[in-house]
């Protein structure tokens, strides 16, 4: 059995076991009047709380509780600011939000079938109908995405032509002032090794080689590490201690494996170069914001030196509205349960 197959089977076993332990009888009813608004969230990356963190400030401002459903606490840092719960101990809530239709969110939708259901794209998804999309699609009260381009991909993923509300990305609610340091390049990693939380993207070897070429050419390297990436692979470089969108303010250009953060880096005023392994498959809009793409590390220095931002129309299509996005997203969620409290 290949490693990827073993990981996938192990992940299904873990997720299935968590929900089997909780049973399939839905908790009765939603949260009532006099209690805080509670929203349960189930993501395609079950332990990936980093998708929820940008929403915490707006939720706190409103007095809402956001609670991420997890199969167990084995991969949750005790200091994680995101509240987590197992399905069998989750409190009554006003809404269940799923960020995709992979096994975990789809099973959570079955488990909490009496809750209003919304779908929000918080990370890129392939524009192909998910195997379990038809299971959740009829129940969706609200669908949101960050940008028009992401909405088109999310619609394909869910197999729907319904209107998708474009709310922007909460990560762009406080974009830094772009003040690049001479010669500094931000290297944007993906995930090298798949695990129970989620998959991986090919291209790390190419990106490592590109970083070496850039450093040899006199560039300073700052690494924007994906939350699930192996830190040891990049330990020879400075690793940013702030999120990549914030770190982009320091960089003249960025280079990396195209992912959700790419349009947001461009929105911060930093041009991006994509490292595209032949096995990499991502939605076209993530490539559209790239100044160029490379498939050979020898191209890295010239690509970074010549990097430019995309035109305004391309950027707006890929990024969506900037500022107030967390507010718009939670407003959209409130519409899914309005009148039920």
Are 236 and 262 a contacting pair, CB within 8 Å?
A: no
pLDDT surpasses 60 at 4: no
The phi, psi pair for 48, rounded to 5°, reads: -85, 75
At 13 the pLDDT is: 44
Stretch 199-221: mean pLDDT, rounded? 88
Are 237 and 187 a contacting pair, CB within 8 Å?
A: yes
Are 211 and 187 a contacting pair, CB within 8 Å?
A: yes
Phi-psi region of 220 (alpha: psi -120 to 50; beta: other; left: phi over 0): beta
Close Cβ partners of 315 (under 8 Å, ≥ 6 residues apart): 263, 266, 267, 289, 309
pTM: 0.87
Are 192 and 42 a contacting pair, CB within 8 Å?
A: no
Question: Residues for the chain: how many in total?
Answer: 341
Residue of higher predicted confidence among 18 and 225: 225
% pLDDT > 70, the chain = 86
Per-residue pLDDT reduced to its tens digit, 116-137 = 999 999 999 999 999 999 999 9
Least confident piece of the model among 5-9, 168-172, 202-206, 296-300: 5-9
How far is Cα 165 from Cα 186, in angstroms, rounded to an integer?
32
How far is Cα 267 from Cα 320, in angstroms, rounded to an integer?
10
At 10 the pLDDT is: 39
275: number of Cβ within 10 Å:
31
pLDDT surpasses 90 at 199: no
How far is Cα 273 from Cα 292, in angstroms, rounded to an integer?
5
At 278 the pLDDT is: 87
Residues paired with 275 in a beta bridge:
294
How far is Cα 46 from Cα 308, in angstroms, rounded to an integer?
36
Residue of higher predicted confidence among 233 and 290: 290
Residue of higher predicted confidence among 252 and 2: 252
Which domains does the chain possess? 3-173+323-337 (3.40.50), 184-319 (3.40.50.2000)
At 233 the pLDDT is: 87
At 18 the pLDDT is: 53
pLDDT surpasses 50 at 191: yes
pLDDT surpasses 80 at 192: no
Average pLDDT in the chain: 89
Are 283 and 123 a contacting pair, CB within 8 Å?
A: no
Tell me, letter by letter, the H, E, C secondary structure of the chain.
CCHHHHHHHHHHHHHHHHHHHHCCCCCCCCCCCCCCCEEEEECCCCCCHHHCHHHHHHHHHHCCEEEEECCCCCCCCCCCCCEEECHHHCCCCCEEEECCCCHHHHHHHHHCCCCCEEEECCCCCCCCCCCCHHHHHHHEEEEEECCHHHHHHHHHHHCCCCCCEECCCHHHCCCCCCCCCCCEEEEECCCCCCCCCCCCCCCHHHHHHHHHHHHHCCCEEEEECCCCCCHHHHCCCEECCCCHHHHHHHCCEEEECCCCHHHHHHHCCCCEEEECCCCCCCCHHHHHCEEEEECCHHHHHHHHHCCCCCCHHHHHHHHCCCCCHHHHHHHHHHHHHCCCC
């Amino acid at each position: 059995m290949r490693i990827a197959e073993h990981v996938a089977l192990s992940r299904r076993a873990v997720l299935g076991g968590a929900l089997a332990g909780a049973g399939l009888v839905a908790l009765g009813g939603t949260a009532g009047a006099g209690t805080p608004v509670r929203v349960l969230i189930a993501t395609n990356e079950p332990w990936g709380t980093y998708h929820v963190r940008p929403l915490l400030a707006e939720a706190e401002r409103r007095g809402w509780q956001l609670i991420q459903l997890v199969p167990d606490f084995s991969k949750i840092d005790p200091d994680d600011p995101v509240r987590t719960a197992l399905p069998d101990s989750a409190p009554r809530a006003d809404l269940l939000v799923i960020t995709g239709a992979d096994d975990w969110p789809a099973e959570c939708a079955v488990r909490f079938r009496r809750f209003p259901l919304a779908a929000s794209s918080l990370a890129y998804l392939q524009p192909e109908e998910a195997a379990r999309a038809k299971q959740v699609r009829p129940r969706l009260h609200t669908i949101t995405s960050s940008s028009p381009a992401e909405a088109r991909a999310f619609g394909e993923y869910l197999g729907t032509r319904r209107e998708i509300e474009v709310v922007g990305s909460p990560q762009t609610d406080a974009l830094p002032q772009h003040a690049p340091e001479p010669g500094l390049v931000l290297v944007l990693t993906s995930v090298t090794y798949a695990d129970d939380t989620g998959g991986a993207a090919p291209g790390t070897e190419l990106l490592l080689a590109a970083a070496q070429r850039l450093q040899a050419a006199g560039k300073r390297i700052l690494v924007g590490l994906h939350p699930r990436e192996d830190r040891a692979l990049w330990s020879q470089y400075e690793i940013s201690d702030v999120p990549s969108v914030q770190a982009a303010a320091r960089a003249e250009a960025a280079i990396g494996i195209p992912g959700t953060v790419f349009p947001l880096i461009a929105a911060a005023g930093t041009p991006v170069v994509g490292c595209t392994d032949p096995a990499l498959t991502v939605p076209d809009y993530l490539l559209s914001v790239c100044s160029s793409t490379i498939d050979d590390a020898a191209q890295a220095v010239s690509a970074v030196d010549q990097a430019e931002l995309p035109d305004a129309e391309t950027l707006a299509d890929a990024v969506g509205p900037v500022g107030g996005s967390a507010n718009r997203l939670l407003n959209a969620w409130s519409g899914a349960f309005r009148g039920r409290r």
